[in-house]
Structure 1
Amino acid sequence: MSKDSAKIRVKLRGYDAVVVDKSAKSIIEAAISTGARVSGPIPLRKRKKVFAVNRSPHVYKSSMEHFKVETHLRLIDIIDPTPKTIEALQHLQMPAGVGFEIK
């Protein structure tokens, strides 16, 4: 990859790893079909959030329930995109529960 080549960076996030991987695969297929080169998907660290909630509605602070939410991240670099690549990414349908950010 030369220094002056254009690059699009796509970051996918979701709570279900299988759905995020399927979305990454569809983005890669769309980019390759339009003639762009692809690097990825690169799995990034899971972001974990833990919430502690009282089990009792009134007192008994010692009895708490813990909930965990994991966010799965994937990074895809599209190198030397064509105008068809950008149009294909704009019209791509993502499943519910997957967010993506294009830079």
Structure 2
Amino acid sequence: MLNYKIKIKAFYGFVLNISVIQIMNYISKNNIKGNGPIHLPTKKKIYTILRSPHVHKKSREQFKLYIHQRFFFVYNVKYNVLKKIYIPSCVKLEITKIC
């Protein structure tokens, strides 16, 4: 029985919120102690691309990519129990052990 930190990331905020609700339901259904969700700041990446391949250097286009993040702490649970959490494929789940 160890303590774990669960960090989830997604490009779409509404998909991440649905995943958070699924994790909360899973934690409460299995009587696992935990804290969360803790909202982390949204990261924003901006990519600038030239519109034309040869000329018109001043003509550019920008794309924004937002990364939404949430955080959970889970206490006194086995790692195998956490591996059974189902989330959509567009959400990244990171499980790390804490002391």
TM interval, short-chain normalised:
0.7 to 0.9
Corresponding position of 1:99: 92
Count of residue pairs the alignment pairs up = 96
Q: Distance in 1 between matches of 2:34 and 2:24?
A: 7
- How far 1:26 sits from its partner (Å)? 1.1
Instruction: Indicate yes or no: 2:28 matched with 1:10.
Output: no
Structure 1 residues 27-36 or 51-60, which shifts more? 27-36
Among all aligned residue pairs of Structure 1 and Structure 2, give the percentage whose two residues are the same amino acid: 28
Could you give the per-residue CA deviations for residues 21-58 of structure 1, whole angstroms, max 9, x where no partner exists?
11111112112211211211111011111000011121
TM-score (norm 2): 0.87
- How far 1:92 sits from its partner (Å)? 2.2
Corresponding position of 2:38: 42
Q: Distance in 1 between matches of 2:81 and 2:75?
A: 15
Amino acid at match of 1:87: N
Q: 1:56 aligns with which of 49, 52, 55?
A: 52
What are structure 1's unaligned runs of at least 5 residues?
Answer: none
- How far 1:96 sits from its partner (Å)? 2.2
Amino acid at match of 1:74: R
Q: Is the strand fraction higher in 1 or 2? A: 2
Corresponding position of 2:83: 90
Q: Distance in 1 between matches of 2:6 and 2:74?
A: 8
Instruction: Indicate yes or no: 2:13 matched with 1:21.
Output: no
Aligned-residue Cα RMSD (Å) equals 1.6
Does the aligned pair in 2 maintain the 1:9–1:75 contact within 8 Å?
yes
What are structure 2's unaligned runs of at least 5 residues?
Answer: none
Does the aligned pair in 2 maintain the 1:49–1:70 contact within 8 Å?
yes
